[in-house]
């Protein structure tokens, strides 16, 4: 039987309300997310965006339980995939 490989990826998310600001900063400070022609502007831009969006984002995360469900969803997907693969063996 051929081996099957599955790779699950996500950009993550803040697990708690107090993680929203730092999460946004790290996200926008990553040059793979936003690539600027002047790299020295990356961190100031990340600070500006995260500062402007943190309050709105915190409100949105509160409305879905206080944090990002991505980790939980990805873990659930992995368990279902593992179960399916075991059943096929």
Residue 27 has a pLDDT of 94
Residue 17 has a pLDDT of 96
Query: What's the Cα-to-Cα distance from 88 to each of 24, 79, 82, rounded to whole Å?
Result: 41, 14, 10
| pTM listed for this prediction | 0.77
- One digit per residue, pLDDT tens: the chain, 89 residues? 677 788 888 888 999 999 999 999 999 999 998 899 999 999 999 999 999 999 999 999 999 999 999 988 999 999 999 898 888 77
Q: How many CB atoms lie within 10 A of CB 29?
A: 17
Helices (H) and strands (E) in the chain, counts: 3, 0
Residue 1 has a pLDDT of 63
- The secondary structure of 26-65 as a DSSP string is HHHH-TTTS--SSGGGHHHHHHHHHHHHHHHHHHHHHHTT
Segments making up each domain of the chain, as ranges: 17-84
């Amino acid at each position: 039987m051929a081996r099957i490989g599955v790779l699950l990826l996500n950009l993550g998310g803040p697990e708690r309300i107090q993680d929203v600001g730092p999460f946004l900063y790290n996200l926008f400070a990553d040059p793979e997310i936003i690539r600027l022609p002047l790299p020295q502007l990356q961190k100031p831009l990340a600070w500006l965006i995260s500062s402007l969006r943190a309050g709105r984002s915190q409100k949105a995360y509160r409305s879905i339980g206080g944090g990002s469900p991505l980790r939980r969803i990805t873990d659930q997907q992995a368990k279902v995939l593992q179960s399916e693969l075991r059943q096929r063996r």
